[in-house]
Amino acid sequence: MTEPSAQPPTAQRIEEIARSATAELDSLENLEAVDQWRISYLGRRGTLTTVLRALSSLDVDERRTIGALANEAKNTLEDRLEQRVRHINEAALTRSASQNRLDVTLPGRPSKAGRLHPTTQIVREICSAFVAMGFGVVEGPEVEWEHYNFEMLNIPKGHPARDMWNTLWVDYEDPSGEQAMLLRTHTSPMQARVMESREPPIRVVVPGKCYRYEATDATHEWHFYQVEGLAVGEGITFADLKGTLYEFAHRLFGEERQIRFRCDYFPFVEPGVDMSIDCFACQGQGGGCRICRDSGWIEILGAGMVHPKVLEKVGYDKDRYTGFAFGMGPERIAMLKYGIDDIRHFYANDLRFLRQF
């Protein structure tokens, strides 16, 4: 430590003090030493303080220039001091943190998100494809009158086409003693209900549960979903049906999909078709493909132009309005998309199955 000096301060002297003080500070690694350093340079009797005090022995001009130098040196040292203290503190924090290491290879704290049932997911996907084309989503009753499930859809009693829908009947007889209530065999009754309740233009999709009196196997469930579609208005054509379903197939199965129609029969449409898409698994090539069973095509849905008798039954002017309708099985579409080989998985509700989606 330098003794207080009676010598008048010089620029050179101030520079020397600043240099040696800085060098000394940079070598200090703990707060006690830094405090000692502060006292010896910047303390009341510290070296630099002493120099400052001796300024009064200088003449006015010298006092101004040397004084400025001395003040600058003091500020610099104070800044350096602050930096050093921060450096020492941070180094200490780092040291202590490095004592608290984790085994980052251990598994994280588990938090499982719930998932929506694959049917919910696919039904939403199907519906939103149609919503984007201006369709609204409506739902209807699962327990339905025979009237809506069959009669209004041009499937009168005694019609052989009734064999297409094996029915679960509800234990209920109408006043004439006829079975009149059933678990709907398809979502199509909503076609009649929607048309009865409003005037064209109509553009809706109807998702919902359906039921059949049928033995189950890998491709048949007695309880399943359908998504029905209906568009009625002036000037709606089969070409529009094609365009709408083309767009749907592209949204669900990819831009490059081709579609194909073949003649099919449903009593509530005429002409009636079913639609296939070219197989997305083998790109329509067949050749040992499991998904399309070698045909290169996958049947996706049934469709057609609304039968004039159906329009008549709901009181529409069949010479003014035309429309198209379609229906599809979301489970089948999910099975195709995810490669599920057995429809019975869907409602067995084994969590090990459901958590995969």
Partner 1 sequence: MRVPLSWLRQYVDIDLPARELAHRLTMAGIEVSEVEVIGGWTEVFVGHVTSVRPHPNADRLRLCVVSTGSEELEVVCGAPNVAAGQKICFAKVGANIYNTHSERHETLEAAKIRGIESQGMICSAVELGLGDDHSGIIVLPDDAPTGAPLDDYLGDTVLELELTPNRLDCLSVLGVAHEVAALTGKKVQEPEANYEESGVPIAELVNISVASPELCRRYTASLLLGVKIGPSPQWLQDRLTRAGLRPINNVVDVTNFVMLEYNQPLHSFDYDLIKDATVIVRRARPGELLTTLDGVERKLTAENLVIADANDAIGLGGVIGGAESEISEGTVNVLLESATFNGANNRETAQSLGLRTEATLRFEKGLRPELAPIALRRATALIHEVAGGTVAPGIVDVLSDEGADAPVVMLTSDKIKRLLGMEVDLERVQGIMDALGFIWESAGDSGLKVTVPYWRNDINIEEDLVEEVVRTIGYDSVPTTMISSPIPVQQPAPVMVLRDQIKDLLAAAGIQEVINYPLVTLQQLEQVEQLDAAALPLRVSNPLSSDREYLRTTLRASLLATLAANQGHGAGPFRMFEAGRVFWPRNGDLPEERETVAGVLAGLRHEPSWLEDDSLLDFYDAKGVVELVLDRLGVAATYEPIDDPGFHPGRCAVIKASEAVLGMVGEVHPVVMERLGLDSPQVAVFELYLEPVLAAMPSSQQQFEPLPRYPSATRDLALVMPSDVEAARVTQLILRHEDVDRAELFDIYAGENIAEGAKSLAIHVYFQAKDRTLTNEEVNRSLDGLLRTLERELNAKLRA
Q: CA 345, CA 340: separation in Å to the nearest integer?
A: 8
Q: Is 212 a catalytic residue?
A: yes
Show the tokens assigned to 349. Answer: 């509700």
56-78: b (≥16 Cβ within 10 Å) or e = eebeeeeeeebbebbeebbeebe
Judged by beta carbon, residue 53 or residue 209, the one nearer partner 1 is 209
202: number of Cβ within 10 Å: 22
Q: Do the beta carbons of residue 143 and residue 183 sit within 8 Å? A: yes
For helices 118-131 and 238-253, give the axis angle rounded to 10 degrees.
130
Q: Report, in Å, the least distance between residue 202 CB and partner 1.
A: 7
Residues 268-307 that bind Zn ion (CB under 5 A): 279, 281-282, 289, 291-292
Q: Is 269 a catalytic residue?
A: yes
Judged by beta carbon, residue 160 or residue 288, the one nearer Zn ion is 288
Q: Report, in Å, the least distance between residue 109 CB and partner 1.
A: 5
Q: Which does 107 bind (CB under 5 to 8 A by kind): Zn ion, partner 1, none?
A: partner 1
Q: Which does 143 bind (CB under 5 to 8 A by kind): Zn ion, partner 1, none?
A: partner 1
Judged by beta carbon, residue 81 or residue 292, the one nearer Zn ion is 292
Q: Is 165 a catalytic residue?
A: yes
Q: Do the beta carbons of residue 42 and residue 49 sit within 8 Å? A: yes
Judged by beta carbon, residue 277 or residue 305, the one nearer partner 1 is 305
Q: Name the residue among 315, 320, 340, 316 with its Cα closest to residue 330.
A: 340
Q: CA 123, CA 113: separation in Å to the nearest integer?
A: 20
Q: Which does 95 bind (CB under 5 to 8 A by kind): partner 1, Zn ion, none?
A: none
Q: Is 7 a catalytic residue?
A: no
Query: Which residues are catalytically annotated?
Result: 165, 186, 212, 226, 269, 325
Catalog residues that contact Zn ion under the rule CB under 5 A: 279, 281-282, 289, 291-292
